[in-house]
Amino acid sequence: MGLEIEPLDKYKWRIPKQGDMRTDGIIYITAEMLELIKHDESIRQVANVACLPGIVGPSMAMPDIHAGYGFPIGGVAAFDLERGVISPGGVGYDINCGVRLLRSNLEKEEVLPLIEDLVDTLFVNIPTGVGSSRKDFRLKQTELKKVLKNGAKWAVSKGFGSQRDLEHIEAGGCLPQADPQLVSKKAYERGKSQLGTLGSGNHFVEVGYVDEIYHEEIAQKIGLFKNQVTVIVHTGSRGLGHQVCDDYIKVMLKASAKYGIKLPDRQLCCAPIKSPEGQEYLAAMACAANFAFANRQMITHWIRETFEGLFKKSYEELGLDLIYDVCHNIAKIERHVYQGQSVTLCVHRKGATRAFAPGHPEVPLAYREIGQPVLIPGDMGRYSYVLVGTQKAMEETFGSTCHGAGRVMSRHQAIKMAKGQNIAAQMKGKGIYVRSAGRRTLIEEISEAYKDVSDVVEVVHGAGLAKKVARLKPLGVIKG
């Protein structure tokens, strides 16, 4: 590792400013979890991000930290709009990979006898796997441009959901700075048949139930109760977002040299936010983010149709309402208070979730009293969590917290470890019915490949970055 790192308290460690670092690095983690990442590059990556021009406050990472492209996954960094930079590595390849949670009026006992039928039908209705596409839903470029400009608003305008859904999506399901002219022809080609598809890797749709309530009053305001059936959707911008990232990394490598930016790692290639290259990346990234918002909205529509077909009731009667939808991989222009001053910053969250506090104007009115819902999915064999944002997150992390469990094992290592095992059968033995596009995906996504999400959530709860509300347990999952 070769870096000095010191504990500040039980949940917080500092990499003091050293070498070319312009600020400290802060990692929210326990001593035990820190040992799990000492073999990878993620701690060094936190320090590298601290070297970038115009960084405001520390370079931060959440307890689900692991090595990523340039920034660590779990990384959070804010930049001044005048002197700061924007980096595709601070957003990631899967732009606006994110998660949404649906509630229902159904209880576990009503769904359990039908779980295999439900999961099998979801698997048919929502294309999964590498390169998955919808043969029945290919968009012409003129229509796809509208998706990139309007996000989930486009989907709702076409009858896929309601205005109420939009009120419960981060940024209303649309980043306004999107400019579809700045997205390449190749990205359009990759995205035209992928709207409403899950993709591969760790993306999933999970039918589960509320296993534990930690804060009854807040749970009621969110609309959660014990043994209630829920649905989580986790996916992003598919091939379109990947291509946008790939295209702009090439632009940023040239821009870094053009503007004389000293990079500790080429993967941190960037441009000044106010430069033409910086502004163009922000506008193209917003297009991919809007595609992801629309993608999750379309998947929600097909989930609702699946439930309607099986339970012979409308989704309104079933109470299949959207609780919230949050981004994981995004850079956003936001107002924050830093050192007593109100400032506008570009906040990179890469494998990190927004966690705005009670009273914040961007929190939907329904949740303004309690804070923004924070959704933290775990691996397919354990738990997921619902939390709410806090004032301490606003003060310490620019309103940010963790996004999931975080890998501790590469996909290759997971395949090696699980060789010869029947993962689907093992999951069924735990009472979880799983369908996937291929056996390899299930092997790559074994629980052992991830930190226990309960440990990760305990850190952000203990550090005061988010408050635990409920725990969800899976009944059935479809995987890419």
pTM given for the model? 0.95
pLDDT for 342 equals 97
pLDDT for 134 equals 66
pLDDT for 104 equals 98
Compute the distance between CA of residue 468 and CA of residue 386 in angstroms, rounded to an integer: 6
pLDDT for 441 equals 74
3-state SS track over the chain? CCCCCEEEECCEEEECCCCCCCCCEEEECCHHHHHHHCCCCHHHHHHHHCCCCCEEEEEEEEEEEECCCCCCEEEEEEEECCCCEECHHHCCCCCCCEEEEECCCCEHHHHHHHHHHHHHHHHHHCCECCCCCCCCCCCCHHHHHHHHHHCHHHHHHCCCCCHHHHHCEHHHHCCCCCCHHHCCHHHHHHHCCCCCCCECCCCEEEEEEEEEECCHHHHHHHCCCCCEEEEEEEECCHHHHHHHHHHHHHHHHHHHHHCCCCCCCHHHCCEECCCHHHHHHHHHHHHHHHHHHHHHHHHHHHHHHHHHHHHCCCCCCCCCCEEEEEECEEEEEEEEEECCEEEEEEEEEECEEECCCCCCCCCCHHHCCCCCEEEECCCCCCCEEEEEECHHHHHHCCCEEECCCCECCCHHHHHHHCCCCCHHHHHHHCCCEEEECCHHHHHHCCHHHECCHHHHHHHHHHCCCEEEEEEEEEEEEEEC
For each of the chain's 480 residues, which pLDDT tens digit applies?
479 999 999 999 999 999 999 999 999 999 999 998 988 899 999 999 999 999 999 999 999 999 999 999 999 999 999 999 999 999 999 999 999 999 999 999 999 999 999 999 999 999 886 676 666 677 888 999 999 999 999 999 999 999 999 999 999 999 999 999 999 999 999 999 999 999 887 899 999 999 999 999 999 999 999 999 999 999 999 999 999 999 999 999 999 999 999 999 999 999 999 999 999 999 999 999 999 999 999 999 999 999 999 999 999 999 999 999 999 999 999 999 999 999 999 999 999 999 999 999 999 999 999 999 999 998 877 899 999 999 999 999 999 999 998 766 677 787 777 777 888 888 888 889 999 887 777 877 777 777 789 999 999 999 999 999 999 999 999 987
Name 85's bridge partners: 272
pLDDT for 383 equals 93
Q: Which of 66, 328, 403, 461 is catalytic?
A: 403
**What letters, b where the CB count within 10 A reaches 16 and e where it falls short, cover 143-169?**
ebbbbbbbbbbbbbeeebbeeebbebb
Compute the distance between CA of residue 222 and CA of residue 388 in angstroms, rounded to an integer: 10
> How many Cα atoms occupy the beta-carbon half-sphere of 164 within 13 Å?
9
CATH 3.90.1860.10 fits 6-479, yes or no: yes
pLDDT for 443 equals 78
- What tokens appear for 450 in the block? 């991830």
Alpha carbon 71 to its chain centroid, in Å, reads: 15
Domain boundaries, the chain: 6-479
Which residue, 402, 399, 446, is CA-closest to 422?
446
For the question of residue 403 being annotated catalytic, the response is yes
Compute the distance between CA of residue 194 and CA of residue 191 in angstroms, rounded to an integer: 5
- What tokens appear for 61 in the block? 């990472």
pLDDT for 413 equals 80
* Residue carrying the six token digits 């309104």: 316
Sign of the C-alpha dihedral computed for residues 168, 122, 229 and 318 taken in this order: positive
pLDDT for 381 equals 78
- CB atoms under 10 Å from CB of 364, counted, come to 16
Which residue, 355, 71, 374, is CA-closest to 215?
374
Separation of first and last alpha carbons in the chain? 34
Which residue, 112, 60, 58, 49, is CA-closest to 85?
49
Compute the distance between CA of residue 115 and CA of residue 113 in angstroms, rounded to an integer: 6
* Residue carrying the six token digits 């690095």: 25
Q: What are phi and psi of 84, to 5 degrees?
A: -85, 175
* Residue carrying the six token digits 């890797």: 201
- What tokens appear for 452 in the block? 């226990």
pLDDT for 476 equals 96
Radius of gyration of the chain (CA): 21
Which residue, 454, 365, 348, is CA-closest to 399?
348
Compute the distance between CA of residue 189 and CA of residue 356 in angstroms, rounded to an integer: 36
Q: What are phi and psi of 387, to 5 degrees?
A: -130, 180
Compute the distance between CA of residue 397 and CA of residue 105 in angstroms, rounded to an integer: 35
Q: What are phi and psi of 370, to 5 degrees?
A: -105, -15
Which residue, 40, 33, 30, 36, is CA-closest to 7?
30
pLDDT for 182 equals 98
91: amino acid identity, one letter: V
